[in-house]
Amino acid sequence: MTLSPTGRLTPVRSFLPIILHSMTQSSFDFDLFVIGGGSGGVRAARIAAQHGARVGIAEGFRYGGTCVIRGCVPKKLLVYASRFPQSFEESRGFGWNVPAATFDWEKLVAAKNAEITRLEGAYSANLDKAGVKRFAGHARFLGPNRLAIDTPEGRQEVTAKEVLIATGGEPVMPEDLPGVELAISSNEVFDLPVFPKRIAVVGGGYIGVEFAGIFHGLGAKVTQIHRGPRVLRGFDVQMADLIVETYRDKGIDMRMNTTLKRLDRQPDGSIRITLHDDSTLDVDQVLIATGRRPATRNLGLETVGLETGKAGEIRVDELSRTQVPGIYAVGDVTNQVSLTPVAIRQGHAFADTTYGKKPWVADLDFIPTAIFSTPELGTVGLNEEQAMERCAVVDVYRNSFRTLKATLSGTQERVHQKILVDASTDRVLGVQLLGPDSAEVIQVMATLLRMGVTKRDLDQTMPLHPSSAEELVTMRTVAQRHIRKPAQ
């Protein structure tokens, strides 16, 4: 089998199906073996086991994967911590006299670690309850239906009728950058032994933007370096530019259209950054957050004839099947939509479809997502640029205001809201929110967009006053209308 450009599986001559099905089910140690104990792999293993499958799973680091161990969960805890100084300052406008606050990085890291350990235990316990056999080690293919697991006790070999690859992604470091060994990735940033008073964050994706805000909020002098003209490629351009504007107002040094030339350790222990124009910057830490790639190295994929794409991704169809029968993949390793909830849904759909006789496919439309910057960006559906490409006439509704809280707190930050509407059908195409609690509101908007909400539906909804969310149902004036010119 192979994948066509449309993602459909098409048959080709192969000896693999003969080998894969030459053994009876009882000949295998497991019906399913999952490589990777992150959110997608754990969900798939649990559900498959609950459907009666004999399931094994291997994880070479810690159960819970990137999201739980060194991703969205610890990141959000750091975001919470970073917002307290602003809250302390704003409280003065409401009559609070807050004494000089002090921050303890080591205490925060210890508290974060305790919570991560608790969550890891919950993941492992749920696997045990479901009857999944856990292995602590790196798993790789030895051949069709055969895997080796390199554990602390030594190498183990197992056989499985079917294998699910759910190894997630890993940070990309620029190996050709002189002095790159002095920098850290998003893996190490959560456990720095000493809080950096000066830090350079390299990269303009969501990880870079979030950590620039985190370290600034915690009191570091932050410089964000990005090779492009604007951050957050693929997100709404206006909202991305507003984040940069707000960051600059806060005092973050935003350096666009520049790259690193080299890193050098200085006698005082600091790191000197030389940029492409030969200007220099001395910092205590350099975080490189220039992207992630599918974690497909050292899996032995060549032994089963499984080829990866240009980014190293495992290509799958809508049912998570690879071009090799009996081998599946879900989550970030497929390089489709790198979000934890997507991996979980794909893993659940795979298990229900393959072992539960309840076929379904994870729906990748109207996925809500958030950038946990400060201010926070929440988005669902199309951004303005995408809407203009897909629809003949797009009505743009925009809103910008200071919150009621800001009238006493004194903050000048504004909330920005945008609703995109297909003028021919009145259907809402996308919603963009920038401001406090945007992630909470955008989750509800995702449900509405999936149900086909129209602008008229929003207009007829009673507002909840006073709230920032009420503005989403009180916008009446079209701020801009985009009319796509017909092709010549």
Mean pLDDT along residues 143-169: 96
Task: Look at residue 16 in the predicted model and tell me its pLDDT.
Answer: 38
- The pLDDT mean for the chain works out to 93
CA 363 to centroid of chain Cα atoms: 17
Six-digit token string for 365 = 């439309």
pLDDT for residue 173 is more than 50: yes
Cα separation of 240 and 377, whole Å?
A: 9
pLDDT cut 70: percent of the chain above it: 94
Task: Look at residue 282 in the predicted model and tell me its pLDDT.
Answer: 98
5-46 pLDDT, tens digit each: 333 343 333 333 333 433 445 699 999 999 999 999 999 999
342-357 pLDDT, tens digit each: 999 999 999 999 999 9
Half-sphere exposure of 82 (CA within 13 A, CB side): 23
Six-digit token string for 263 = 């890193």
pLDDT for residue 209 is more than 80: yes
Six-digit token string for 187 = 């893996």
Task: Look at residue 486 in the predicted model and tell me its pLDDT.
Answer: 74
How is the beta sheet containing 221-225 ordered, strand by strand?
253-255, 221-225, 198-202, 285-288
Mean pLDDT along residues 257-267: 98
pLDDT for residue 461 is more than 80: yes
Half-sphere exposure of 100 (CA within 13 A, CB side): 0
Mean pLDDT along residues 465-474: 97
56-66 pLDDT, tens digit each: 999 999 999 99
356-381 pLDDT, tens digit each: 999 999 999 999 999 999 999 999 99
Task: Look at residue 25 in the predicted model and tell me its pLDDT.
Answer: 52
Q: Look up 216 and say whether it is catalytic.
A: no
103-132 pLDDT, tens digit each: 999 999 999 999 999 999 999 999 999 999
Q: In the 3-class helix/strand/coil scheme, how is 391-430 assigned residue by residue? A: CCEEEEEEEEECCHHHHHHCCCCCEEEEEEEECCCCEEEE
273-323 pLDDT, tens digit each: 999 999 999 999 999 999 999 999 999 999 999 999 999 999 999 999 999
Cα separation of 103 and 404, whole Å?
A: 29
Strand ranges (E), 238-349: 253-255, 260-265, 271-275, 280-283, 285-288, 292-294, 327-329
Considering the candidates 216, 348, 465, 482, report the single residue annotated as catalytic: 465
Would you say 327 and 165 are in contact if contact means Cβ atoms under 8 Å apart?
yes
413-448 pLDDT, tens digit each: 999 999 999 999 999 999 999 999 999 999 999 999
Q: Which of 148-152, 158-162, 180-184, 344-348 has the lowest mean pLDDT?
A: 148-152
61-88 pLDDT, tens digit each: 999 999 999 999 999 999 999 999 999 9
Task: Look at residue 485 in the predicted model and tell me its pLDDT.
Answer: 80
pLDDT for residue 487 is more than 70: no
Mean pLDDT along residues 384-393: 97
Mean pLDDT along residues 153-176: 96
pLDDT for residue 93 is more than 60: yes
Residue 144: is the preceding peptide bond cis (ω within 30°)?
no
pLDDT for residue 488 is more than 90: no
